[in-house]
A and B are shown apart, each in its own frame.
Chain A
Amino acid sequence: MEQLILAEGCNVAEVTMCAPAEVSELFQFAAPWPELAAWFTRTQMLILLIPVIVIGLFWLALRNPKLVPGKLQMAVESAYSLVRNDIGKDVIGPGGEKYVPYLLSVFMFVLIGNFYEITPFVNFPVTSRIAIPGFLAVFTWIIFVVAAVRKQGLAYFGHLIWPPGVPIALKPLLGVIELVSTLLVRPFSLAVRLFANLVAGHLMLSLLLGTAGTFIWASLTNPEIGYGKGALGIAWFVMGLGIFMFEMLVAFLQAYIFTLLSAVYIQSSIHPDH
């Protein structure tokens, strides 16, 4: 899809890299069947596919659980144990079991959404649209504020504005810093971290691999463009492959970081003395 966007606007003889006129063109898609609903774009279809994939994966892996697991069961169990033990229990501590369903849902959603970026015929990470990381961050925000209010009552906000255990001269300043940092910066940074990582990755992959394809194709089929552009296309392709491998790591890492930070925020709400 992006190959078409890049190829049609690209003057291969002139430029070193094909780039669309407006970078957001690489991130927006028209609705394939406009008479169905204007919001039912490719992005929406991919989002609706994520729970189908997650439920299908877990069902396939765990419908006949064996004591000595096969490969799929092992993979799914290791993802579950990562979220439940290493993130849920170790980070949140006692009382963390309640939050594992939410953490597992967030982890699997972000993981599959990120993996769309490296899936062959899709190549569009769903989490690169700000609404999705935005709303996931809003859920984490609501959960950790409500957990804190349930645990400490409304004194939670009092402790944010007037932190205990701090010299009296610093209390106002530290209060403002802590209030802004806890209630505003946390969800904002959670969303933007995931969003910007994925936007950067998608942009680099689209430009590098799309340019490589366009250049190599033009160099082979168009007689007036010499083999120099073809060689440049191969160079972009090699760089694109390197970035592709890096994006595989980034996809998993960003899902892990989002879940880990959600757990850390929940832990700081329900165990404030740490």
Chain B
Amino acid sequence: MDLAAAEAIKGGLLVMGYGLAAVGPGIGIGIVVGNAIQAMARQPEAAGMVRTTMFLGIAFTEALALIGFVLFFLA
């Protein structure tokens, strides 16, 4: 594969890379929120604390997807 062809598909490879990177956090956030919903259903009076911890968990897992998004522009 010569240089011009490699340059042409570079953008496509970047997008594919980000797509792959977004699979993990997507599943992760689904698990966090699902368990949070279950916890809130089992014990409604703990809903406030569960909600706060849920946001914390979402922030941590989403950070990985966003690092992938930033690297998409960096390369």
A positions within 8 Å CB-CB of B: 23, 86, 189, 192-193, 195-197, 199-200, 253, 256-257, 260-261, 264
B15 interfacial contact with A, CB 8 Å = no
Contact check, A197 vs B55: say whether CB atoms are below 8 A apart.
no
Asked if residues A192 and B66 are in contact (CB atoms below 8 Å), the reply is yes
Q: Is the interface of B mostly helix, strand, loop or mixed?
A: helix
Residues of A within 8 A of B59 (CB): 193, 257, 260-261
List the B side residues contacting A253 at CB < 8 Å: 55
Q: How far apart are the CA atoms of A86 and B70 in the complex, in Å?
A: 31
Report how many A-B pairs have Cβ atoms within 8 Å.
37
List B residues at the A interface (Cβ < 8 Å): 52, 55-56, 59-60, 62-63, 66-67, 69-70, 73
Cα of A23 to Cα of B63 in the assembled complex, Å: 22
Cβ-defined contact, B55 with A23, below 8 A: no
**A260 in contact with B56 (CB, 8 Å):** yes
Q: In the complex, what's the smallest C-beta–C-beta distance from A33 to chain B, in angstroms?
A: 30
Kindly list chain B residues whose C-beta atoms are within 8 Å of the C-beta of A260: 52, 55-56, 59
Least CB separation from A91: chain B residue:
B52
Task: Determine which of A23, A197, A261, A264 lies in contact with B66 in the assembled complex, contact meaning CB atoms within 8 Å.
Answer: A197
Q: A195-B70, A196-B67, A196-B70 are in contact. Are A264 and B56 (CB under 8 A)?
A: yes
Minimum C-beta distance from A268 to chain B (A): 12
Q: How far is the CA of A197 from the CA of B68 in the complex (A)?
A: 12
Cβ–Cβ < 8 Å partners of B69 in chain A: 196, 199-200
The docked-state distance in angstroms from the alpha carbon of A139 to that of B66 is: 22
> Chain B CB within 10 Å — which of A196, A199, A261 has the most?
A196
Residue of B nearest to A253 (CB): B55
Contact in complex: B56, A200 (CB < 8 Å) = no
- Could you tell me the distance between the alpha carbons of A200 and B72 in the complex, rounded to whole angstroms? 11
Q: A192-B67, A192-B70, A260-B55 are in contact. List 16 more A-B contacts (CB 8 A).
A: A23-B73, A86-B52, A189-B63, A189-B67, A192-B66, A193-B62, A193-B63, A195-B70, A196-B69, A199-B69, A199-B70, A200-B69, A257-B55, A260-B56, A261-B56, A264-B56
A residues less than 8 Å from B70 (CB atoms): 192, 195-196, 199
The 3 A-B residue pairs with the shortest CB-CB distance, nearest first, are A196-B66, A257-B59, A193-B63
- Count chain B CB atoms within 10 A of each CB in A86, A193, A195, A199 and give the residue with the most: A193
Nearest residue, chain B, Cβ from A190: B63
Q: Which residue of B lies closest to A257 (CB)?
A: B59
